[in-house]
């Protein structure tokens, strides 16, 4: 079986892309519209080699970039390993357990791709809003309402490794930064940047995504923001394929 990967698509192309998905993959109009809205990326589902190739050819005919890829060659990034403790001895990246006592060393040349982004936190905060009003009788009335307050986006990293394939998820607010020693700073964002810079210094071969490059140069207005953790995961999956396809 094969999967269809759309490597490039602008918002103006999405209606035509949805038409191609309906016509060549047999998707419903609703599903095709959803998949087109999520593009670029891997289209959900597996198809025969002929069906996926026909869809890719039709999409290429629209002036977009797409390819049919054997399903085993499409990386699955979820589930991933959440990491809180790290070290980096000479031999590689040491990933420790939650207690920070036992770990596994990943050789530096096994690190394939680094993806950094700003995403909404997993949970929102429920707060109680209280307001006091004076009634016509002169008595005070206390009203309460539950409000959902969104926390600011948080920095995350997906670190894709090979031999064997695995994905590490590092969340800036939940990392233990004791590995920085005397360089440790007050804010998690500053410490997270030191972590990323250290990894890149020790693994200069590692591919880093456009969002990572935007974040590193301080361009955080839009280029490194994702609407959800799953959106960042989809983007990372696409860039693993771009990297492996040599695009």
pLDDT of residue 186: 87
How far apart CA 125 and CA 91 sit, in angstroms, is: 41
pLDDT at 236: 97
What is residue 146's predicted lDDT score, i.e. its pLDDT? 54
Q: Given this model, what pLDDT does residue 245 score?
A: 85
Place of tokens 């693993």: 240
Say if residues 200 and 209 touch (Cβ distance below 8 Å): no
Cβ distance 106 to 128 under 8 Å? no
State the sign of the Cα–Cα–Cα–Cα dihedral 35, 167, 164, 107.
positive
pLDDT mean for each 10 residues of the chain (247 residues): 96 96 97 97 97 97 96 93 87 84 90 96 52 54 56 92 95 90 89 94 95 87 85 96 85
Domain ranges of the chain: 2-73, 81-122+152-245
Q: Quickly list DSSP for 119-186.
A: E--S--EEEEEEEEEE-TTS-EEEEEEEEEEPPPPEEEEEEEETTTTEEEEEEGGG--GGGGGGG--S
Residue 113: helix, strand or coil by DSSP?
Answer: strand
The third-level CATH classification (topology) of the domain covering 2-73 is Ribosomal Protein L30; Chain: A, (3.30.1390)
CATH architecture of 81-122+152-245: Roll (2.30)
Decide whether 2-73 matches 81-122+152-245 in CATH topology: no
Q: With the C-alpha atoms ordered 21, 27, 31, 33, is the resulting torsion angle positive or negative?
A: positive
Quote the tokens at residue 105. Answer: 């060393």
Q: Looking at residue 247, what is its pLDDT? A: 55
Q: So what's the pLDDT on residue 128?
A: 45
- The C-alpha angle 52, 36, 67, rounded to 5 degrees, equals 30
Quote the pLDDT of residue 124.
42
pTM of the model: 0.84
């Amino acid at each position: 079986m094969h999967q269809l990967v759309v490597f490039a698509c602008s918002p103006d192309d999405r209606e035509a892309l949805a038409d191609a998905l309906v016509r060549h993959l047999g998707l419903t109009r609703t599903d095709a519209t959803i998949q087109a809205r999520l593009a670029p990326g891997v289209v959900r589902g597996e198809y025969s080699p002929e069906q996926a190739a026909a869809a890719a050819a039709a999409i290429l005919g629209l002036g977009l970039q797409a390819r049919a890829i054997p399903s085993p060659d499409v990386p699955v990034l979820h589930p991933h390993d959440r990491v809180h403790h790290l070290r980096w001895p000479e031999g590689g990246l040491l990933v420790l357990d939650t207690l920070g006592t036992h770990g596994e060393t990943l050789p530096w040349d096994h690190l394939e791709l680094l993806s950094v982004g700003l995403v909404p936190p997993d949970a929102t905060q429920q707060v109680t809003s209280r307001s006091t009003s004076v009634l016509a009788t002169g008595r005070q009335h206390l009203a309460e309402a539950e409000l959902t307050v969104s926390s600011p986006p948080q920095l995350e990293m997906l670190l894709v490794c090979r031999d064997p394939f695995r994905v590490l998820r590092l969340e800036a607010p939940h990392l233990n930064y004791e590995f920085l020693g005397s360089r440790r700073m007050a804010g998690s964002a500053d410490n997270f940047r030191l972590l990323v810079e250290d990894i890149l210094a020790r693994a200069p071969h590692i591919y880093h995504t456009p969002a990572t490059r935007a974040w590193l140069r301080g361009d955080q207005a839009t280029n490194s923001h994702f609407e959800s953790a799953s959106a960042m995961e989809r983007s990372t999956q696409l860039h693993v394929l771009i990297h492996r396809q040599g695009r």
